[in-house]
Structure 1
């Protein structure tokens, strides 16, 4: 069912991350052209660092899923390794096949949510909706960060073209973890000391947010996430605007793997679902953000503080509340990376011709 090469959820080599931070510091100091803005200066630094410098997990294991896997097997694989997605290996491709023939796509919880709502039993042949967009080791950090932010890629396999295999997988959470190790470096503080409001966050206004009232069916949460293409949403108290919970796409695993929840999955409310999941996790003695109170921040918090909160809790989003605890917005990993880099005009050229299908907001 699976091939284990490495799990991107494992913590990266912290010494390598700190060395990377010092390397960026040196490049930052070299950029002394007064006409450059801070953003242009940082872009220039990131353009000089290849993706091959991004730290791989110490155990160097990659998780792949075979193309003949069932829906249940895919869910079990992602849950077992605590990952959001996995490249799909074509079982009919020979060992010496090129990467484009060897890998047919990526399976992730977003797709599993769609399959559950459509009552699909078998995922074989259903991966193409999630594009496999490879990075080459020689691609730059700027390319990597733009793909993970503006172009909404959640994970990027780094492919060794010569050997036709994946050497690393870069995820949004791995990048934010890397950023957390840059805290305290002078070049980073130029950006890290800015508050959310100064950086234009949260982007989405409260009345634009996708959210669910606690007594609504939890299946509606996954339907909304699928329709609105978001990775999670807040659960709001029945009377008021306070966040009482969070449901993300990865939580769909509990509808499929926890029998006590699956039996009633079409009628269980969001509140009851969260309670049942906590009981299931305690019974299994598994650590999870779902066992903790909802983590929040305020617009006056610095981006540095928010990064540390997200990384410490290993979560994908943080809710912004006012002094009364009322919901004011959400900040995601993608939002944070988006404030860090900006795409230069014409930067990607024909880059996206190597992926099928094209990213939805690609201009090529």
Structure 2
């Protein structure tokens, strides 16, 4: 995955070689960042067994075959992956929103109905981008133009954070322990936001052996500054396809190294008075998975993820009785599209 610059991939069961249908073969999706975080956790536990503390991430795994050669299937109880819930080319955006919001997926695989092969992915970024194209429509604006304060993101409790003088190793452990995609980094004296540490940033430890070897000594602030100095270091060449709209939606968000992702020292922020639409536009432009909400004193008071945004627009459970059970803008959307819910399915007159 590192060599191919792939952020996620399907998990297939051991099946007969003649099994070509992805619905019979694939059982889930696995993330590059999660694999690295799990491996580093296991390496830390077994570090006393290592012959040498020097070398790269992969060479260290070679010294610990019980970790480096562990089979994906053996990690099912401790490893984090998403279920394999594909969509078809003919499925609607409403269907995709339902999957991404209800099942905590970062991406839904797209299959070709003719042979059930995977032909692409619809990412959370793609869903947000597509929703933004609905700007100006009543059912979208009625939700998107509300201020962030209306959604109560700041009332969830203290935001999990790290300080700039804490080590990179502590940051890695925090990401794994809390199963989150991003952590704000605060100045230890002023408590002001100085950056963010995202699960996608773990690739820097694989690209630079010195960072990996010194992860227990290197501070988060030094890590952020290193990322800022290496403006284009390690980035894969910009493929022509990435200039296309569809690729910007999905391919760019599925790359380990992306020209579109902002640096760690440039976290995405919004104020409580900003609208949900403004927040969506910021994450869409920056390709980040989350943003931080700031109060008037420039302190972090909340965090909003892509899923938090998608949930506001996701359809209700199809078990709702009639259109009366549909909340938010979907009540208007159903009415405008002449659709109803019958026997747990969406039925349209056209």
Q: TM-score, normalised by structure 2?
A: 0.68
Say if 1:159 and 1:167, in contact at 8 Å, map to a contact too.
yes
- 2:276 aligns with one of 295, 303, 320: 303
Post-superposition CA distance 1:81-105 (Å, at most 9, x none): 5xx3222456875364321443353
1:133 equivalenced with 2:84 (yes/no): yes
Gapped runs of 5+ residues in structure 1?
1-73, 348-364
TM superposition shift of 1:140: 5.0
Post-superposition CA distance 1:259-300 (Å, at most 9, x none): 231221233211111122233344457744016622210111
CA distance in 2, matches of 1:167, 1:283: 30
Instruction: Check 1:139–1:123 CA distance in 2 against 1; reply closer, same or farther (3 A cut).
Output: farther
RMSD: 2.6
Say if 1:212 and 1:235, in contact at 8 Å, map to a contact too.
yes
- 2:138 aligns with one of 173, 186, 192: 186
Q: TM-score, normalised by structure 1?
A: 0.66
Instruction: Check 1:230–1:175 CA distance in 2 against 1; reply closer, same or farther (3 A cut).
Output: same
2:2 alignment partner in structure 1: 75
- 2:10 aligns with one of 65, 84, 87: 87
Instruction: Check 1:91–1:340 CA distance in 2 against 1; reply closer, same or farther (3 A cut).
Output: same
Count of aligned residue pairs for this structure pair: 268
1:229 equivalenced with 2:171 (yes/no): no
CA distance in 2, matches of 1:320, 1:212: 16
- 1:336 aligns with one of 303, 309, 315: 309
1:122 alignment partner in structure 2: 69
Post-superposition CA distance 1:114-150 (Å, at most 9, x none): 1221133236434744143222426554442233124
Instruction: Check 1:250–1:239 CA distance in 2 against 1; reply closer, same or farther (3 A cut).
Output: same
Gapped runs of 5+ residues in structure 2?
44-66, 236-257, 321-350
CA distance in 2, matches of 1:226, 1:107: 15
2:246 alignment partner in structure 1: none
TM superposition shift of 1:162: 4.4
CA distance in 2, matches of 1:104, 1:315: 27
Say if 1:295 and 1:319, in contact at 8 Å, map to a contact too.
yes
Pairing 1:262-277 to 2, within 5 Å after superposition: 262-277=212-227
CA distance in 2, matches of 1:295, 1:228: 20
Instruction: Check 1:144–1:301 CA distance in 2 against 1; reply closer, same or farther (3 A cut).
Output: same
Instruction: Check 1:149–1:320 CA distance in 2 against 1; reply closer, same or farther (3 A cut).
Output: same
Please identify the structure whose Cα radius of gyration is greater: 2
Instruction: Check 1:112–1:190 CA distance in 2 against 1; reply closer, same or farther (3 A cut).
Output: same
CA distance in 1, matches of 2:151, 2:307: 14
